[in-house]
A and B are shown apart, each in its own frame.
Chain A
Amino acid sequence: MSAPDNSPAYGVRWTLFLWPAVVISAVLLLFPQGLFIWNSFHEDVGAGRIDDAFTLANYISILTDSFYLRSFWLTFYLALGAALIGLVFAFPTAYWLARMRSRWISHLIVLLLISLFVTIIIKIMGITVILSQQGMINGPLLWLGIIDKPLHMLSNRVGVLIGLIQYTLPLLVMMLFSVIQTIPRSLEDAAEVHGATRLSMFWRVLLPMAKLGVIASTFIAFNLGMGAFTSAILLGGGRVLTLPILIQEKVMLDIEYGFGATLSTALLLVVFLLNVVAATFLMRGSRAATRGAAP
């Protein structure tokens, strides 16, 4: 089918008006990125300057230094853990919201959106208070005698994980909510009438149909987690060195733009490859992922 002819009788091709926006966006995005990536192929010579020679030395350093490799691994499993744990909490919440019939639903969505827009620093301050040794978790647990020493949830990976989950959870709920909304309620009725228990309906009907959306949402949460900076800094106590923190140190403290760029580009590449590989693996041979209620 050939594209429809968009030029109206009075002769103005409206598509031309889109070009300035596209060009400016491309320039603003690709140009700095390109420059940055170009930097990654040059060694630092001190005082913020980089060498002229094009080299892969920076990349080789990363691949052979266990310090950076461990950081990659740490960032990866924190991000994956946060995404998966978040998913476990977000899915039932999103389902409950999507199937709610009362008029309170719009209020709840608004609350959810507000929590999304609250600055991460404020959220983390709140987490710090909650997770502290006399906070809302340790306090009651100690008082009830369930534990006799306070749990250490700050300045370690646990705190960072919790911070990451808090960060991605509202987003996950919103995304899953819109996915589940596209699955007609009548399908659930049809499943129930023909003998399915709730669990069976979830497993055989709802989840397969939501599969694409769940995977996409989890990816987004994971990708956000791979950029974990604020949570790691404020809740990690200087001990949880995710890759973004190392990048910041390289660029801001050591003022080594070359190596900083290398770390960033490497992170970008790794995340990109993980997405592509996992997506191919998860969607392969599953027709279910390509059909569903959404057009």
Chain B
Amino acid sequence: MSQVSLDNVSKSFGSVIAVDRVSVEVNDGEFLVLLGPSGCGKTTTLRLIAGFVLPTSGVIRIGDRNVSSLPPRKRNIGMVFQNYSLFPNMTIGENIAFGLRERKVDKATMARRVTELLNLIRLPGIEDRYSEELSGGQQQRVALARALAYTPNVLLMDEPLGALDRKLREAMQTEIHRIQRELKITTVFVTHDQEEAMSLSDRIAVMADGRIQQIGSPEELYGRPQSAFVADFVGKTNFLGGRVARQADGTCAVAVADGVSVAVTTEGRFSVGDPVTVATRPESLRLSSAAGENGLNSVPGKIERRRFLGNIGHYYVRTPWSKLLLVETAGGVTHYRTGDDVWVVWEPDLSLIYPGEAPQEST
């Protein structure tokens, strides 16, 4: 049974369409991430599920109830906000017990639950402290405990780790993952950080312009992005724009510049002359001192910049037609230096091809 279902939900603010016919079913116990750039509609979608915003059309269900016109407090949800939103005038214990008190739970049960939750978030004994005494990471965990206190159907999280530094974020991601798995609580999580999305989710819904562009597991989205946008947003991608020169036998040859042709293995049907984009992951590309043979793609260029990142190396190669390619090498040290002339080579079956012009550079 799905715990959350959105059926053709749309939301307009005046003439602006923030959410455009979004349909998605979140399964019981699933961790779904809404991922996308600012303004894509992910936060509005979350707020629709929460009930802070009512849909212009469509049906929202939580559990098996139609909650489309219900206010947030009647939807039995828990929510964690980006700025924690802990009540500063209450103790930690009172914060966590807030929802329980609203539901008229007796004192003994409340106290027990607070202790349980503090143990769950690994902060025992702080019931009588105040939020201003805690660090950001601790506050966020308390906010999580508060959201989970009365065992809601769904846990909603609106970019909760945005205010934390990197190390703390990763530690919190692990915590959130552990707690979600332990409680098996259905979770919808909003973020613009695709690494975070991939590390936490069962499924990711990539959104842009108010619509879901693609929804699937992290592996599916990374390995088989269905559009140039998704390929660009999830992970890094190199795009080469050009026109189809030839198509035959599951291979498409694309003219990306004067005298430079790139082959892509694809089942797609294209006509000669169609504008297309060839997408390749940086880790699929290799540096070579000579042009590749035997059906390998080869693109010439000059190394413009080199970044040593410890376990990997990033090489920025500028092609003669001013295209910048990112090549990722496993093991950071190679003999290539900035200014070297190189060839970038790769196998045609490592690329994907999309119709239309290449998206703007996002590196």
Contacts and interface: CB of A to CB of B under 8 A. Distances in A.
Interface string B85-121: 1111110000000110011000000000000000000
A293 B103 CA distance: 26
A272 B89 CA distance: 29
A205 B99 contact: no
B73 A205 contact: no
Given A194-B102, A197-B73, A189 B132 contact: no
A184 to B, nearest CB: 7
A176 B49 CA distance: 33
Interface in B9-54: 50-52
Given A189-B81, A193-B79, A291 B98 contact: no
B88 A291 contact: yes
A108 interface: no
Given A204-B90, A287-B89, 14 more contacts: A187-B87, A189-B81, A190-B86, A193-B50, A193-B52, A194-B146, A194-B147, A195-B103, A204-B87, A205-B87, A209-B88, A287-B130, A291-B130, A292-B88
A190 B81 CA distance: 8
Interface in A267-295: 287-288, 291-293
Nearest to A183: B88
A99 B197 CA distance: 33
B271 to A, nearest CB: 51
Contacts of A116: none
A209 to B, nearest CB: 5
B239 interface: no
Given A291-B88, A291-B132, A292-B88, A193 B83 contact: no
A196 interface: yes
B78 A291 contact: no
Contacts of B51: 193
A208 interface: yes
Contacts of A197: 73, 102
Interface in B123-154: 130, 132, 146-147, 149-150
B273 interface: no
B87 A190 contact: yes
Given A200-B102, A287-B130, A291-B132, A195 B87 contact: no
Interface string B66-81: 0000011100011101
A137 interface: no
Contacts of B77: 193
A195 B89 contact: no
Contact of A189 (B85, B90, B146): B85
Interface residues of B, number: 28
A106 interface: no
B89 to A, nearest CB: 4
Contact of A191 (B98, B147, B150): B98
Contacts of A208: 89
Interface in A172-205: 184, 186-187, 189-197, 200, 204-205
B206 to A, nearest CB: 26
Nearest to A188: B85
Contacts of A200: 102
Contacts of B156: 193
Given A193-B79, A195-B150, A187 B71 contact: no
A179 to B, nearest CB: 14
Contact of A186 (B85, B99, B103, B130): B85
A193, A196, A197, A288 — most chain B CB neighbours (10 Å):
A193
* Residue with the highest number of chain B CB atoms closer than 10 Å, among A184, A190, A191, A196: A190
B85 A288 contact: no
Contact of B89 (A186, A189, A196, A205): A205
A236 B51 CA distance: 53
B218 to A, nearest CB: 28
Given A209-B89, A287-B130, A293-B88, A184 B83 contact: yes
A109 to B, nearest CB: 24
A192 B52 CA distance: 9
B85 A184 contact: yes
Those 7 A-B pairs whose CB atoms lie nearest each other, nearest first: A195-B102, A190-B85, A194-B99, A288-B89, A208-B89, A193-B79, A186-B85
B72 A192 contact: yes
Contacts of A204: 87, 90, 98
A182 B156 CA distance: 26
Contacts of A205: 87, 89
B88 A189 contact: no
Contacts of A288: 89
B85 A187 contact: yes
B85 A195 contact: no
28 contacts: A186-B81, A186-B83, A187-B85, A190-B79, A190-B87, A192-B52, A193-B50, A193-B72, A194-B79, A194-B98, A194-B149, A195-B98, A195-B99, A196-B102, A197-B73, A197-B102, A200-B102, A204-B87, A204-B90, A204-B98, A205-B87, A208-B89, A209-B87, A209-B88, A209-B89, A287-B89, A287-B130, A292-B89
